[in-house]
Amino acid sequence: MKVLVISAAFPPMHAGEATNAMYLCQHLADRKLDVHVLTSRSNSGIDDPRLTVHPIMRNWSWSEVPRFRNFLKRCSPDVVFLMYLGLMYHYHPMITFTPTISKRILPCVPFVTRYESPFEDVRLRTPSLLSRAFRKFVVVNWAGSRNVDYNFGTLLRDSDHIIALCELHRAVLLKRLPSAAGKTVLIPPPPNIRMCTDYVGARHRGRQILGVKPDDFVIAFMGYVYPRKGVETLLQALQIVCRQRNNVRLVVIGGKIELAVANRSSYAEQMYRLSKELGVDDKTTWTGEFKWDEEYASLYLNAADACVLPFNEGVHLHDSSFGSVAAHGLPIITTHGPGLDQPIIHNENVLLFPPKDAKALAHAIMRLLEDPDHCRHLRVGAKKLAQEWFSWDSAIDRTVATFGLAAQSEPSYERSADVKVGPILGSSK
């Protein structure tokens, strides 16, 4: 079977979406599928003979429609898989009509769309007047106006299957088109990094590279550094903890992101300065960006004793850094936001605290420092969560099922209404 993956983000681009697209393609190739990738001209791909990369798209605009149509005819795939994030395609509406274009050329070929995020508005990057007029009077007339979404075009209407990365994403999408419920599935993104399999050896190597002492308690932060990640809250909590314990270290694993938005790089610089102002710069190691084909990120996670993900908007299954950390079986401290996914359970596989609350975070860190038994309990919970929701084998099974090759049900996470998960640390409830 020939699978065409469409993604404007692909190596050598340095972005989480690019890395995840690459791993997805490699795991599909492991299933003996013939994988082709349609991507932007700047993305030449990787040295993997199992993948055929076509870096031919220039700007994903209306002028690219003939190129896209001709490529579909030449490639003649058995299934089309679109990885969609408006930012990747410069918020141009052309990509949002690709299921309809594909159906006109290849009417019997399944079209699957994976939403990286539904929280996007094309008005953030307003297309030109000509582009909007073309969409309104030409494309919509051609595609049909019924159930055409302003932001998402015909993605929801004409995709045969829709993949959401978390429950909140699925709810947002179905609010836009309730009739899409029957074709929408939940498949969180598995780890975005190369995993070390030898834990003992990896822990020794990681701690050696970081230069930490045997009795140091190492806290990891995983992911790109930008405003919504709440790094300032972590640094403030670290200052509080270090007043009580001198053997705590922080390692920030990740760098700046290439899919840039306003002030993202300046935010990282602000965090470097903040660590100095708080007097914790000597306790903090910034690893910088790591390459997808290197094991350094996994080494650093194995070297850590716990991980803090202080997201300003709460944790969700779609956070690839969360999946990577859970796969390493680390005790995880993170935040409770709106729409918490049911598999994420306070005091079972995570320790939750309110976003932007440095004192509550410091309290949670101290709890892990003083309670090794709870650390072990959270490790077990994180590993179980990873096995059920962040396994590449499981994710590929469910993804391939959307191609019509196999049937695979989602894991059950039904929880009785009378189950108590305990209060969130630092909350008033």
Mind listing the pLDDT tens digit for each residue in 59-109?
999 999 999 999 999 999 999 999 999 989 988 889 999 999 999 999 999
Quick one: pLDDT band at residue 257, thresholds 50, 70, 90? low
210 and 242 within one domain? yes
What is the structure's pLDDT at 109? 96
What is the structure's pLDDT at 141? 60
pLDDT tens-digit readout, 189-206: 998 888 888 888 999 999
382 and 293 within one domain? yes
223 and 160 within one domain? no
What is the structure's pLDDT at 293? 75
Q: Taking residues 44-63, report their average pLDDT.
A: 91
428 domain residue, yes or no? no
Quick one: pLDDT band at residue 291, thresholds 50, 70, 90? confident
- The residue written with tokens 């492991």 in the block is 30
266 and 380 within one domain? yes
- 3-class secondary structure, 153: strand
**Most distant CA pair in the chain: distance in Å?**
67
415 domain residue, yes or no? no
271 and 214 within one domain? yes
Q: Which two tokens stand for residue 335?
A: 């935040």
326 and 357 within one domain? yes
237 and 170 within one domain? no
Quick one: pLDDT band at residue 260, thresholds 50, 70, 90? very low
What is the structure's pLDDT at 119? 79
Q: What is the DSSP letter of 113?
A: E
Q: Which two tokens stand for residue 200?
A: 């003992």
Q: Taking residues 303-322, report their average pLDDT.
A: 94
Q: Taking residues 381-391, report their average pLDDT.
A: 94
Q: Which two tokens stand for residue 234?
A: 């972590």
With pLDDT > 70 as the criterion, what percentage of the chain qualifies? Answer: 86
Examine the pLDDT at 253 and tell me if it is beyond 90: yes
What is the structure's pLDDT at 419? 31
Examine the pLDDT at 426 and tell me if it is beyond 60: no
157 and 114 within one domain? yes
211 and 178 within one domain? no
What is the structure's pLDDT at 123? 45
pLDDT tens-digit readout, 261-270: 444 457 888 8
121 and 215 within one domain? no
Domain end among 154, 186, 218 = 186
- Who wins on pLDDT, 92 or 302? 302
CA dist 117 and 94 (Å) reads: 17
Q: First and final CA of the chain: distance in angstroms?
A: 53
Q: Which two tokens stand for residue 57?
A: 């798209």
- Contact of 154 with 178, CB cutoff 8 Å: no
- Contact of 317 with 343, CB cutoff 8 Å: yes
Range of 275's domain? 199-389
Strand partners, 113: 82, 162
In this structure, the number of other CB atoms found within 10 A of the CB of residue 214 comes to 6
CA dist 346 and 421 (Å) reads: 6
Domain count, the chain: 2
Examine the pLDDT at 373 and tell me if it is beyond 50: yes
pLDDT tens-digit readout, 1-34: 999 999 999 998 877 788 899 999 999 999 999 9
What is the structure's pLDDT at 213? 94
What is the structure's pLDDT at 339? 77
88 domain residue, yes or no? yes
pTM of the model: 0.82
Q: Domain of 252: which CATH number?
A: 3.40.50.2000
416 domain residue, yes or no? no
- Who wins on pLDDT, 337 or 221? 221
CA dist 157 and 145 (Å) reads: 11
281 domain residue, yes or no? yes
Examine the pLDDT at 412 and tell me if it is beyond 70: no
376 domain residue, yes or no? yes
265 and 133 within one domain? no
Examine the pLDDT at 338 and tell me if it is beyond 90: no
Q: Which two tokens stand for residue 8?
A: 């404007």
Examine the pLDDT at 121 and tell me if it is beyond 60: no
CB under 8 A, 24+ apart: contacts of 128-135: 131/61, 131/62, 131/92, 131/93, 134/62, 135/62, 135/93
283 and 361 within one domain? yes
What is the structure's pLDDT at 143? 67
pLDDT tens-digit readout, 124-152: 455 566 565 555 545 566 666 677 887 88
54 domain residue, yes or no? yes
What is the structure's pLDDT at 69? 96
Domain end among 186, 219, 253 = 186
Q: Which two tokens stand for residue 16?
A: 């989480």
Q: What is the DSSP letter of 128?
A: P
What is the structure's pLDDT at 236? 98
Strand partners, 51: 35
Domain end among 164, 186, 208 = 186
Q: Which two tokens stand for residue 268?
A: 């990282």
- Who wins on pLDDT, 175 or 128? 175
15 domain residue, yes or no? yes
Q: What is the mean pLDDT of the chain?
A: 86
